[in-house]
Structure 1
């Protein structure tokens, strides 16, 4: 039987050889589309641009509830504009294990890496971290009246442990499936280690899987997998593990296939628009270059004419100075100058 290290090495080799590509967001979507059913209640913590909130809305349907938390005001406003009329419940707040207001490190150059603490940025020169103040809440406080909670997505750039601690009562009561992004560049900013999430999941009665559906119930397996190929993990309630495995083995639902096709069509449409814009810009630049060439040619012709005129005037001046009349009248000019 292959060890976790060998399995992950095999996946890494396939990616290195170009046989497979890493689309972690797409893989995550594939998993929750198999889990979330119409009428479900889902929560997206760190909704950002709505990459997952939009398909989750499709999953829950008109009879379900999809809630998105996003603390950055400008990002929240964009999300609200995008999802206007969709039925999504949007909350402009960060979730953690406390309630109130807190400093928040807004990475202006890479807002998706913003968080309650400054993490190790993928592109430090671009990040431009700025301190803002945001509202902070706990899931326990917000979900106090919830009668069900089927799925929670947490991507809060290192604050996942605080978020899970602030949801302890809700998790114990409603037992949702939870996806968590957990990687060293972000969790280390909070003083956490690989072991932190493993211990917390176990204390909540959950078993960890990686996004490739490797079961990481043993500590050695978890330590080998964490930070190896990905930062995306799924926390599965132990009592729902058999159901989880069964659903993950099912064919993708029609809505997933339709959504992927729609996404591809949308991407194709965006590329066409982008290409059209690039062609228009190229044409505009070409016309400007042509206009500048014409101006340069005109200026060159004018310079030739002006040079010729200057040469002609110089020749006339030389001819005048060398003429007999100029020499004959020289004494008169001198007398006139003295008299003045």
Structure 2
């Protein structure tokens, strides 16, 4: 499960632009199954795939069927990853690409996605995009980040599989990174906190832009068996503070919390004292962001020229302005979070 938004507020995003299809494209439509099709990311992936002319199957629980839009090329598949490969196979028969946008703990990210992969193997699916959508998860090893470890364990399931894995890395979502869970912005205190010197560029991509890139990547057969890195904008934490000040029209006091080594020590301390995962997992992401191991490599935005990413300044002038206000409700402490 994910947080509704970084601030607890509902956010509206523009509809993707419908692309036109020529006569040749009509005979080359790709069928894509999207798991997690009603989530904050998955629902936008569905809309972008439809806009690109794909046939889409949305794998959803019975309770979420009414959240899907009506569309002649959208089919509803009622099911759950916990149903197992035998039950899931009917949903992936005839599918060329599977996109997983699910969130959760090991029973979803490892066990559930493995069942979906097994079903895809039996059905002859060509490619699968697992639910990564984060910093460069494969730039660092086990033990750095508990949520990255879940995804890394699942990625090993592709060894020897006939289904090619395509992992999409985008950096941090500003919807979460500038929210309370990351402890960067404190609207009540008027502070902007930084670990390290704040001069290393970090990768930031909005959820809608991630969905737009993911739809394009899902329909690009050249991505089979590759990690694909795309990004909205790269800027240092000090530059991000400048953007926040410009957009908010107020001064945010810079708080230097310590070195990256101090950050690692703080993560270790919290792991021993925390009562909930989210008390330290966001800082685990920051370790990899600030020491560079989680930075994107070989960014390939140019492969998808019809996707124009949102700048940080544009995001902050729109839905991101909510970050400048104190959250209306506290973060839920009982879910597996999407911390970036």
TM-score band, normalised by the shorter chain?
0.3 to 0.5
Structure ranking higher on relative contact order (CA contacts 8 Å, 6+ apart): 2
Q: Larger C-alpha radius of gyration, 1 or 2?
A: 1
Greater helix fraction, Structure 1 or Structure 2: 1
Normalised TM-score (structure 1): 0.36
